[in-house]
Structure 1
């Protein structure tokens, strides 16, 4: 499989960039506990005088080695969202995107399960 998935964290309409960054860092720590390769998404031009690589706030790149990796990732994301219903995610693998923002937790579970089955099969 060995695809990369871009996972973008959303903390609702009132989520400030620092809150989104903290939420993404927390989710990254949980995903790292699964031995997944997870890095913040970097890119774009840095502001004048800035040091280091610019980071897209709330975006993580996850390397998917197997379909089992995707299943574990989605289970962890679902549990992470269940702990705070203001959180949501947008997932992108290649040209396929799942925008889960605005879904109720029960809807999100169904959508993530369906997406996982589709991605694992395809």
Structure 2
């Protein structure tokens, strides 16, 4: 399954959020079997790009194992920035929204199970 992963934090500047997104991209690609990439910008040369893509990653090959691995990576980002809001959108338009604030270990395990069901794995 392919999906779009978006992170949001109303307390972060757009540039900081995009920096965090780039770091998350590297982490996902290095620590999981997923293929993550930034969406192509729609703006021309010298423009900031489409604001909808800020904080977004395109994910390919989500499976049972990669969902668990992805959430292990996300967990480290959530621990550092517990105000993150995460949205996973499937190619068919379904969405899974996660608010990370005060997410306990048990809740993280439940979230991983929900994400696996969401991904159909």
TM-score for both structures, normalised by structure 1: 0.76
Partner of 2:2: 4
**Residues 2 and 61, structure 2, Cα contact 8 Å, conserved in 1:** yes
Q: Report how many residues are paired.
A: 116
Which runs of 4 or more aligned residues in structure 1 lie more than 4 Å from their structure 2 counterparts after TM superposition? none
The alignment status of 1:109 with 2:108, answered yes or no, reads yes
**Residues 96 and 115, structure 2, Cα contact 8 Å, conserved in 1:** no
Cα distance change on mapping 1:93 and 1:86 into 2, 3 Å: same
Q: Which has the higher strand share?
A: 1
**Residues 82 and 100, structure 2, Cα contact 8 Å, conserved in 1:** no
Secondary structure in 1 matching 2:75: helix
**Residues 100 and 108, structure 1, Cα contact 8 Å, conserved in 2:** no
CA shift, 1:42, in A, is 2.4
Structure 1 gaps of 5+ residues are none
**C-alpha distance in structure 1 between counterparts of 2:23 and 2:112, whole Å:** 22
**Residues 85 and 98, structure 2, Cα contact 8 Å, conserved in 1:** yes
Q: How do 1:1-122 and structure 2 match up within 5 A? A: 3-11=1-9, 13-33=10-30, 34-44=32-42, 46=43, 50-51=45-46, 54=49, 56-94=53-91, 95-101=93-99, 103-106=101-104, 109-119=108-118, 121=120
